[in-house]
Protein backbone atom coordinates (compact mmCIF):
# COMPACT_ATOMS: atom_id res chain seq x y z
CA UNK A 1 0.00 0.00 0.00
CA UNK A 2 1.14 3.52 -0.76
CA UNK A 3 1.81 6.07 1.97
CA UNK A 4 -1.32 8.00 0.98
CA UNK A 5 -3.48 4.88 1.40
CA UNK A 6 -1.90 4.18 4.80
CA UNK A 7 -2.60 7.75 5.86
CA UNK A 8 -6.28 7.36 4.92
CA UNK A 9 -6.51 4.14 6.93
CA UNK A 10 -4.76 5.71 9.93
CA UNK A 11 -7.00 8.79 9.93
CA UNK A 12 -10.18 6.77 9.53
CA UNK A 13 -9.09 4.52 12.38
CA UNK A 14 -8.58 7.56 14.63
CA UNK A 15 -12.09 8.73 13.69
CA UNK A 16 -13.49 5.28 14.63
CA UNK A 17 -14.68 4.66 11.08
CA UNK A 18 -15.31 0.95 10.56
CA UNK A 19 -12.87 -0.88 8.34
CA UNK A 20 -15.54 -2.07 5.92
CA UNK A 21 -16.59 1.55 5.27
CA UNK A 22 -12.98 2.71 5.12
CA UNK A 23 -12.09 0.02 2.58
CA UNK A 24 -15.29 0.73 0.66
CA UNK A 25 -14.29 4.36 0.21
CA UNK A 26 -10.92 3.24 -1.17
CA UNK A 27 -12.66 0.95 -3.64
CA UNK A 28 -14.88 3.79 -4.84
CA UNK A 29 -11.94 6.18 -5.07
CA UNK A 30 -9.96 3.68 -7.15
CA UNK A 31 -12.88 2.98 -9.48
CA UNK A 32 -13.42 -0.63 -8.44
CA UNK A 33 -11.78 -3.64 -6.76
CA UNK A 34 -9.76 -4.41 -9.88
CA UNK A 35 -7.77 -1.20 -9.46
CA UNK A 36 -6.59 -2.01 -5.94
CA UNK A 37 -3.52 -4.13 -5.27
CA UNK A 38 -4.65 -5.14 -1.77
CA UNK A 39 -7.67 -6.61 0.04
CA UNK A 40 -9.68 -5.54 3.06
CA UNK A 41 -7.82 -8.07 5.21
CA UNK A 42 -4.54 -6.38 4.24
CA UNK A 43 -5.93 -3.10 5.55
CA UNK A 44 -6.97 -4.76 8.80
CA UNK A 45 -3.52 -6.32 9.18
CA UNK A 46 -1.86 -2.96 8.58
CA UNK A 47 -3.94 -1.20 11.24
CA UNK A 48 -3.35 -4.01 13.75
CA UNK A 49 0.38 -3.92 13.12
CA UNK A 50 1.12 -0.20 12.91
CA UNK A 51 -1.28 1.59 15.24
CA UNK A 52 0.78 0.62 18.29
CA UNK A 53 3.63 2.93 19.16
CA UNK A 54 6.44 0.67 20.32
CA UNK A 55 8.83 2.69 22.48
CA UNK A 56 10.91 -0.29 23.55
CA UNK A 57 11.36 -1.78 26.99
CA UNK A 58 10.60 0.80 29.66
CA UNK A 59 9.84 3.50 27.08
CA UNK A 60 6.20 3.96 28.04
CA UNK A 61 7.07 4.27 31.71
CA UNK A 62 9.87 6.74 31.03
CA UNK A 63 7.57 8.95 28.96
CA UNK A 64 4.89 8.82 31.63
CA UNK A 65 7.40 9.82 34.31
CA UNK A 66 8.52 12.77 32.21
CA UNK A 67 4.94 13.99 31.77
CA UNK A 68 4.31 13.63 35.51
CA UNK A 69 7.39 15.74 36.26
CA UNK A 70 6.19 18.43 33.88
CA UNK A 71 2.71 18.42 35.43
CA UNK A 72 4.26 18.64 38.91
CA UNK A 73 6.15 21.77 37.88
CA UNK A 74 3.04 23.34 36.33
CA UNK A 75 -0.51 22.03 36.67
CA UNK A 76 -1.36 23.65 33.34
CA UNK A 77 0.76 21.12 31.44
CA UNK A 78 -1.53 18.69 29.61
CA UNK A 79 -0.50 15.25 28.38
CA UNK A 80 -2.48 12.30 27.13
CA UNK A 81 -1.21 8.78 26.59
CA UNK A 82 -3.69 6.56 24.79
CA UNK A 83 -3.36 2.85 25.56
CA UNK A 84 -5.00 -0.08 23.82
CA UNK A 85 -6.77 -2.99 25.53
CA UNK A 86 -3.43 -4.73 26.08
CA UNK A 87 -1.89 -1.71 27.80
CA UNK A 88 0.33 -0.81 24.85
CA UNK A 89 0.88 2.84 23.96
CA UNK A 90 -0.91 3.96 20.80
CA UNK A 91 -0.98 7.74 20.83
CA UNK A 92 0.64 10.65 22.63
CA UNK A 93 -0.41 14.29 22.84
CA UNK A 94 0.87 17.20 24.91
CA UNK A 95 0.38 20.94 25.28
CA UNK A 96 2.31 23.15 27.69
CA UNK A 97 0.66 26.02 29.65
CA UNK A 98 1.90 28.66 27.23
CA UNK A 99 0.36 26.86 24.27
CA UNK A 100 -2.94 26.41 26.07
CA UNK A 101 -3.04 30.08 27.06
CA UNK A 102 -2.22 31.11 23.49
CA UNK A 103 -5.11 29.00 22.24
CA UNK A 104 -7.58 30.99 24.34
CA UNK A 105 -6.53 34.19 22.56
CA UNK A 106 -5.53 32.93 19.13
CA UNK A 107 -7.61 29.79 18.61
CA UNK A 108 -9.77 31.29 15.84
CA UNK A 109 -7.85 29.38 13.17
CA UNK A 110 -5.75 26.27 13.66
CA UNK A 111 -3.54 24.63 11.06
CA UNK A 112 -2.85 20.93 11.50
CA UNK A 113 0.37 19.68 9.94
CA UNK A 114 1.41 16.02 9.95
CA UNK A 115 3.85 16.36 7.03
CA UNK A 116 6.59 17.79 9.24
CA UNK A 117 8.19 14.55 10.34
CA UNK A 118 7.58 10.82 10.28
CA UNK A 119 9.45 8.88 12.95
CA UNK A 120 10.97 5.45 12.77
CA UNK A 121 7.74 3.90 14.04
CA UNK A 122 5.91 5.07 10.93
CA UNK A 123 3.76 7.58 12.81
CA UNK A 124 3.54 11.24 11.83
CA UNK A 125 4.51 13.98 14.25
CA UNK A 126 1.57 16.37 14.40
CA UNK A 127 1.81 20.13 14.94
CA UNK A 128 -1.12 22.38 15.82
CA UNK A 129 -0.24 25.93 14.81
CA UNK A 130 -2.06 29.24 15.19
CA UNK A 131 -1.29 32.87 14.32
CA UNK A 132 -0.94 35.63 16.94
CA UNK A 133 -1.62 39.37 16.71
CA UNK A 134 1.89 39.94 15.28
CA UNK A 135 1.12 37.56 12.37
CA UNK A 136 3.59 35.08 13.84
CA UNK A 137 3.10 31.31 13.91
CA UNK A 138 2.61 29.96 17.43
CA UNK A 139 2.63 26.38 18.65
CA UNK A 140 -0.68 25.32 20.21
CA UNK A 141 0.07 21.66 20.79
CA UNK A 142 2.00 18.67 19.49
CA UNK A 143 1.83 14.92 19.48
CA UNK A 144 1.34 11.75 17.54
CA UNK A 145 -2.42 12.26 17.31
CA UNK A 146 -4.94 14.98 18.09
CA UNK A 147 -7.06 15.06 21.21
CA UNK A 148 -9.47 17.36 22.97
CA UNK A 149 -7.28 19.16 25.49
CA UNK A 150 -8.17 22.82 25.13
CA UNK A 151 -10.91 23.02 27.78
CA UNK A 152 -13.51 21.63 25.36
CA UNK A 153 -13.30 24.74 23.17
CA UNK A 154 -13.46 23.81 19.48
CA UNK A 155 -11.55 26.02 17.02
CA UNK A 156 -13.73 28.32 14.94
CA UNK A 157 -11.91 27.27 11.78
CA UNK A 158 -9.59 24.46 10.73
CA UNK A 159 -7.37 24.57 7.63
CA UNK A 160 -6.06 21.32 6.11
CA UNK A 161 -5.14 19.93 2.72
CA UNK A 162 -7.82 18.06 0.73
CA UNK A 163 -7.32 14.75 2.52
CA UNK A 164 -10.71 13.00 2.39
CA UNK A 165 -10.28 11.07 5.63
CA UNK A 166 -9.25 14.26 7.44
CA UNK A 167 -12.38 15.99 6.16
CA UNK A 168 -14.57 13.15 7.45
CA UNK A 169 -12.83 13.10 10.84
CA UNK A 170 -13.19 16.86 11.35
CA UNK A 171 -16.90 16.68 10.53
CA UNK A 172 -17.28 14.09 13.28
CA UNK A 173 -15.03 15.57 15.98
CA UNK A 174 -15.54 19.31 15.32
CA UNK A 175 -18.98 19.60 13.66
CA UNK A 176 -19.33 23.30 14.56
CA UNK A 177 -15.90 24.35 13.26
CA UNK A 178 -15.54 25.87 9.81
CA UNK A 179 -13.31 23.56 7.79
CA UNK A 180 -11.42 25.05 4.85
CA UNK A 181 -8.89 23.63 2.37
CA UNK A 182 -5.47 25.24 2.22
CA UNK A 183 -5.26 27.40 -0.90
CA UNK A 184 -1.50 26.87 -1.17
CA UNK A 185 -1.96 23.12 -1.55
CA UNK A 186 -4.58 23.68 -4.24
CA UNK A 187 -2.63 26.26 -6.22
CA UNK A 188 0.54 24.17 -6.34
CA UNK A 189 -1.43 21.54 -8.27
CA UNK A 190 -2.47 23.95 -11.02
CA UNK A 191 0.64 23.37 -13.11
CA UNK A 192 0.51 19.58 -12.78
CA UNK A 193 -3.20 19.34 -13.57
CA UNK A 194 -3.54 21.98 -16.29
CA UNK A 195 -0.14 22.64 -17.89
CA UNK A 196 -0.89 20.28 -20.77
CA UNK A 197 -3.67 22.62 -21.92
CA UNK A 198 -2.58 24.72 -24.89
CA UNK A 199 -3.70 28.03 -23.37
CA UNK A 200 -2.47 27.41 -19.82
CA UNK A 201 0.69 29.55 -19.96
CA UNK A 202 -1.04 32.42 -21.74
CA UNK A 203 -4.56 33.49 -20.81
CA UNK A 204 -6.06 30.53 -18.97
CA UNK A 205 -3.82 30.71 -15.89
CA UNK A 206 -4.55 34.44 -15.55
CA UNK A 207 -8.30 33.80 -15.81
CA UNK A 208 -8.07 31.03 -13.23
CA UNK A 209 -6.17 33.22 -10.77
CA UNK A 210 -8.71 36.00 -11.33
CA UNK A 211 -11.55 33.68 -10.34
CA UNK A 212 -9.72 32.68 -7.18
CA UNK A 213 -8.35 36.03 -6.00
CA UNK A 214 -10.34 38.87 -7.58
CA UNK A 215 -13.96 37.87 -7.04
CA UNK A 216 -15.53 39.38 -3.93
CA UNK A 217 -18.94 37.70 -3.88
CA UNK A 218 -20.58 34.39 -4.71
CA UNK A 219 -22.20 35.92 -7.79
CA UNK A 220 -18.89 37.31 -9.09
CA UNK A 221 -17.16 33.99 -8.58
CA UNK A 222 -19.89 31.94 -10.26
CA UNK A 223 -19.87 34.26 -13.28
CA UNK A 224 -16.06 34.28 -13.54
CA UNK A 225 -15.79 30.50 -13.12
CA UNK A 226 -18.48 29.85 -15.73
CA UNK A 227 -16.64 32.09 -18.21
CA UNK A 228 -13.39 30.26 -17.52
CA UNK A 229 -14.88 26.81 -18.05
CA UNK A 230 -16.75 27.85 -21.20
CA UNK A 231 -13.96 29.88 -22.81
CA UNK A 232 -11.35 27.13 -22.49
CA UNK A 233 -13.72 24.15 -22.88
CA UNK A 234 -12.92 22.67 -19.46
CA UNK A 235 -16.29 21.04 -18.82
CA UNK A 236 -14.75 17.55 -18.79
CA UNK A 237 -11.79 18.37 -16.55
CA UNK A 238 -12.41 16.10 -13.53
CA UNK A 239 -10.01 17.96 -11.23
CA UNK A 240 -11.68 21.34 -11.79
CA UNK A 241 -15.07 19.72 -11.41
CA UNK A 242 -14.04 18.31 -8.03
CA UNK A 243 -12.78 21.73 -6.91
CA UNK A 244 -16.03 23.37 -7.92
CA UNK A 245 -18.09 20.71 -6.15
CA UNK A 246 -16.26 21.53 -2.90
CA UNK A 247 -15.94 25.27 -3.47
CA UNK A 248 -17.52 26.09 -0.09
CA UNK A 249 -14.39 24.58 1.49
Q: Which of 33-37, 51-55, 203-207 has the lowest mean pLDDT?
A: 51-55
> Does the pLDDT value for residue 155 go beyond 90?
no
Residue 119 is predicted with a pLDDT of 55
Q: Which sequence spans correspond to the domains of the chain? A: 59-153, 189-245
Beta-carbon contacts of 197 under 8 Å, excluding residues fewer than 6 positions away, are 204, 232, 234
More confident residue, 230 or 126: 230
Enumerate the β-bridge partners of residue 194: none
Residue 219 is predicted with a pLDDT of 95
Report pTM. Answer: 0.50
DSSP state of 35: G
Residue 156 is predicted with a pLDDT of 85
Residue 148 is predicted with a pLDDT of 45
Residue 167 is predicted with a pLDDT of 87
CB 8 within 8 A of CB 165: yes
**pLDDT-derived band at 77, boundaries 50, 70, 90:** very high
For 154-169, the three-class secondary structure string (H helix, E strand, C coil) is: CCCEEEECCCHHHHHH
Q: Which runs of consecutive H residues, i.e. helices, occur in the chain?
A: 3-14, 19-30, 40-50, 59-73, 97-106, 164-173, 183-187, 190-194, 205-213, 218-231, 238-245
Q: Is 79 helix (H, G, I), strand (E, B) or coil?
A: strand
Average pLDDT estimate for 38-59: 71
Q: Is 80 helix (H, G, I), strand (E, B) or coil?
A: strand
> Does the pLDDT value for residue 147 go beyond 50?
no
Q: DSSP secondary structure string, 128-151?
A: EEEE-TTS-EEEEEEESS----ST
Beta-carbon contacts of 191 under 8 Å, excluding residues fewer than 6 positions away, are none
Cα torsion 25, 31, 35, 40 to 10°: value is 20
| Cα 203 to Cα 7: distance, rounded to the nearest angstrom | 37
- Mean per-residue pLDDT over the chain, rounded: 82
More confident residue, 225 or 197: 225
Average pLDDT estimate for 166-187: 87
Amino acid sequence: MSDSIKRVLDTNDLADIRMNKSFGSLVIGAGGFKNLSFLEKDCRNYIDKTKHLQLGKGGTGALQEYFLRMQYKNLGFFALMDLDDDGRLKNVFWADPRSRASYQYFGDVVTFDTTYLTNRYGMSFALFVGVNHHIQSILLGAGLISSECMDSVAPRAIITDQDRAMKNAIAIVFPESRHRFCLWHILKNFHEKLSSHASYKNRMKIALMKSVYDTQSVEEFEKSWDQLITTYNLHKNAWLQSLYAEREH
